[in-house]
Amino acid sequence: MATKNLSEYDLTSVPSASEMSFGIVVSEWNHEVTGALAQGAVYTLKMHGAKDVNIILKHVPGSFELTLGAQYLAEFANVDAIIVLGCVIQGETRHFEFICQGVTQGITSLNMKYNKPFIFGLLTTDNQRQALDRAGGKLGNKGDEAAVTAIKMLALKNGLTK
Ligand code: DLZ
């Protein structure tokens, strides 16, 4: 079981995001959790220099729609990286598995198709408590981590292509 704040990181190890642009797609399902993830992601991008004008945030109905929402942002908004944020909580049926598999495969494919970072910020938990612990609770905020990952992946790409 995770026992530490997983979002703790060395602030100085994160490159500047001042010249980067980001799309964020947020699922409305479990909005108490996903809203906190989104808040963390936006806060962290801005803390590392991203400008408001370079952050586009859009909502989709559920986590299953994150993949297409992310593809829309890649096609129709001129952003450098895209972060998807959702929360799937295990229920009594196998729905959970299908959504998680669908999003995982979908986001992986988008990374390859567009050759740009699509960051996987999907919580897949047994219950709401575990989700809240990872959305600004005692185990940090996966939205913060997704933001840092997006910045680092763009810096990697920029370092190789510019
Ligand atoms: C239907 C459904 C269920 C049961 N559970 C969740 C969930 O825990 N988290 C989530 O983000 N979405 C859930 N959904 C909705 C699906 O993601 C999707 O929106 C619908 O199946 C319509 O495609």
In a domain, 40, yes or no: no
Task: Render each residue's pLDDT in the chain as its tens digit; 162 residues.
Answer: 445 676 778 878 899 999 999 999 999 999 999 999 999 999 999 999 999 999 999 999 999 999 999 999 999 998 999 999 999 999 878 889 999 999 999 999 999 999 999 999 999 999 999 999 999 999 999 999 999 999 999 999 999 997
CA of 29 to the centre of ligand 1 (A): 7
In a domain, 95, yes or no: yes
Measured from the Cα of 66, ligand 1's closest atom is 17
Residues paired with residue 119 on neighbouring β-strands, in sequence order: 83
3-state SS of 86-116 is EEEECCCCCHHHHHHHHHHHHHHHHHHHHCC
In a domain, 15, yes or no: no
In a domain, 64, yes or no: yes
Q: CA angle, corner 143, sides to 127 and 151, nearest 5?
A: 150
Nearest to 27 by CA among 103, 136, 116: 103
Tell me the residue range of the domain where 154 lies: 20-35+45-161
Phi, psi of 26, rounded to the nearest 5 degrees: -120, 130
In a domain, 12, yes or no: no
In a domain, 2, yes or no: no
Torsion angle of C-alpha atoms 37, 39, 41, 44, degrees rounded to 10: -140
CATH code where residue 119 lies = 3.40.50.960
Number of structural domains, the chain? 1
In a domain, 11, yes or no: no
Residue 95 a catalytic site member: yes
CA of 82 to the centre of ligand 1 (A): 21
Measured from the Cα of 34, ligand 1's closest atom is 11
